[in-house]
Amino acid sequence: MNNITVIGSGTMGNGIAHVFAQFGYKVSLVDINKGALEKALATISKNMDRQVAKGMLSEEDKNTAFAKIKTFTSLEEGVRSADLVVEAATENLSVKLDLFRQLDELCKEEAILASNTSSISITKIGAVTARPEKVIGMHFMNPVPVMKLIEVIRGYATSDEVTSLIMDLSKKLDKVPVEVNDYPGFVANRILMPMINEAIYTLYEGVAGIEEIDTVMKLGMAHPMGPLQLADFIGLDVCLSILRVLYDGFGNPKYAPCPLLVNMVEAGFKGIKTGEGFYKYTPGVKEFIVSPQFK
């Protein structure tokens, strides 16, 4: 397995392309948006420079790795020689189903089709292809070059052979793969999102303020950041949509999103990406303050 195609060159796609290139794979990076591809190459170069500065890569390794990445706006050209496709396009069911139908037509018969989805069923994605045994989840964590985990998700029809190929490949990227089955939220988000939701309920019910909740979880549980800050980092809209997947998938009221979260997303306070969520962020400034909405 040598030719990897990464689809979508946003936050996750650029990191996934970076890691495959760093470990010697030929990478085709595909995006419908040319600007996103240009931005991704600039981000990859900057992040590789950071690895050089830290002594993790030599200048020569960086140049070799960077040269392995080719960009495409045409899906057909980008997947022609792919042994493995890792899809990291926008988290939207119809976008993913449409892409996998096309991938199934365009890719060679033996190619494995993986998705980096955070919450969409791998079984559902596999079922729109004629090769569900070769469809699998490869859930990388953000930021991809730094985070060690890959949640490897087996759809209902994913074969043992494909699962063990992807587990081995993940290790070659110096990651730690963990095999899980395909149920709503997989493992990571099934546990993380109810914790974030409970933190928001704790705030909503007036048990404690934002900084107090985050401090308890940071210092009490040794988490690197509190759940409310983490929610801002992930995006409150993303948290809400994953909670809805859990709520719909299990039909269990314990996953019902906190009304405060729903209100904040509807008001456009989505966290770092909009400049304000539980905290208020100033572009280019590391420090941030509690959102004045909560004063």
Q: Which residue is nearest to ligand NAI (CB)?
A: 10
Q: Which of residues 109-148 bind ligand NAI (CB under 6 A)?
A: 116-118, 139, 142
Q: How far is the CB of 227 from ligand NAI (least distance, A)?
A: 15
Q: Chain centroid to CA 235: how far?
A: 12
DSSP assignment string, 115-130: E--SSS-HHHHHHTSS
Known catalytic residue at 139: yes
Q: How far is the CB of 15 from ligand NAI (least distance, A)?
A: 8
Q: Which of 9, 116, 119, 139 is catalytic?
A: 139
Q: How far is the CB of 207 from ligand NAI (least distance, A)?
A: 28
Known catalytic residue at 197: no
Per CB under 6 A, the list member of 5, 6, 31, 173 interacting with ligand NAI is: 31
Per CB under 6 A, the list member of 11, 45, 81, 274 interacting with ligand NAI is: 11
Q: Which is nearer to ligand NAI, 36 or 256 (CB)?
A: 36
Please give the Cα distance from 61 to 123 (Å, whole number): 38
Site string for ligand NAI, 232-271 (x = CB under 6 A): --x-------------------------------------
Binding-site residue total for ligand NAI (CB under 6 A)?
24
Q: Which of residues 92-111 bind ligand NAI (CB under 6 A)?
A: 95, 99
Region binding ligand NAI by CB under 6 A among candidate stretches 7-15, 57-65, 196-204, 276-284? 7-15
CB atoms within 10 A of CB 178: 16
Known catalytic residue at 151: yes
- Asked if 272 touches ligand NAI (CB under 6 A), the answer is no
Please give the Cα distance from 47 to 98 (Å, whole number): 32
Q: Which is nearer to ligand NAI, 91 or 276 (CB)?
A: 91
Q: How far is the CB of 115 from ligand NAI (least distance, A)?
A: 7
Per CB under 6 A, the list member of 7, 86, 107, 265 interacting with ligand NAI is: 7
Per CB under 6 A, the list member of 3, 4, 6, 9 interacting with ligand NAI is: 9
DSSP assignment string, the chain: --EEEEE--SHHHHHHHHHHHHTT-EEEEE-S-HHHHHHHHHHHHHHHHHHHHTTSS-HHHHHHHHHTEEEES-HHHHHTT-SEEEE---S-HHHHHHHHHHHHHHS-TT-EEEE--SSS-HHHHHHTSS-GGGEEEEEE-SSTTT--EEEEEE-TT--HHHHHHHHHHHHHTT-EEEEEE-STTTTHHHHHHHHHHHHHHHHHTTSS-HHHHHHHHHHHH--SS-HHHHHHHH-HHHHHHHHHHHHHHH--GGGPPPHHHHHHHHTT--BGGGTBSSEEE-TT-S-EEE-GGG-
Site string for ligand NAI, 163-202 (x = CB under 6 A): ----------------------------------------
Which residues contact ligand NAI by CB under 6 A? 7-13, 30-33, 36, 88-91, 95, 99, 116-118, 139, 142, 234
